[in-house]
Amino acid sequence: MHEMSIAESLVELIEEAGRNQRFLRVRQIRVKLGALGHVEPEALRFCFDAVSQGTIAESAELDLEMVAGEGWCASCSRTVPISERYDLCPVCGQDHVRMTAGDELRLAELEVE
Ligand SMILES: [Zn+2]
């Protein structure tokens, strides 16, 4: 499953941060999640709970911040909202839109103790 490998790499990142910054417990994890990234938030939560068992991230709260899709339309020379990666421009209707935001998955913040 796609979400499982994402959850695994999140836990790896957190454990690495724990080793470097010497914290023992993570209370909250804030992740920026692009709306166009095809990651199911509930599935990611479920996988994260499973793979974080026995790690410093165990029972941490996963706070997912959704990032809306956005693209640059070469015809309009402006930034437009998009709901799919290859969406047509909602302003001029042409397919000259290059996605600029919406497929990220980034560890934004850790609350630790
Ligand atoms: Zn346009």
* Separation between Cα atoms, residue 23 and residue 57, nearest integer Å: 11
Instruction: Locate the domains of the chain by residue range.
Output: 2-68+102-112
Is residue 19's pLDDT more than 70? Answer: yes
Q: How far does residue 102's CA lie from ligand 1's centre (Å)? A: 18
- What pLDDT sits at residue 113? 84
Is residue 29's pLDDT more than 90? Answer: yes
Q: Which helix (H) or strand (E) holds 107?
A: strand 105-112
Q: How far does residue 94's CA lie from ligand 1's centre (Å)? A: 6
Q: How far does residue 87's CA lie from ligand 1's centre (Å)? A: 11
- What pLDDT sits at residue 26? 95
Q: What is the pLDDT of residues 51-63, one digit of tens each?
A: 999 999 999 999 9
Fold of 2-68+102-112: hypothetical protein PF0899 fold (3.30.2320)
Is residue 1's pLDDT more than 90? Answer: no
Q: What is the pLDDT of residues 87-109, one digit of tens each?
A: 999 999 999 999 999 999 999 99
Number of H helices, E strands in the chain: 2, 6
Please tell me the pTM assigned to this model: 0.83
Q: Which residues lie closer than 8 Å to 28 by C-beta, 6 or more apart?
A: 60, 61, 63, 109, 110, 111
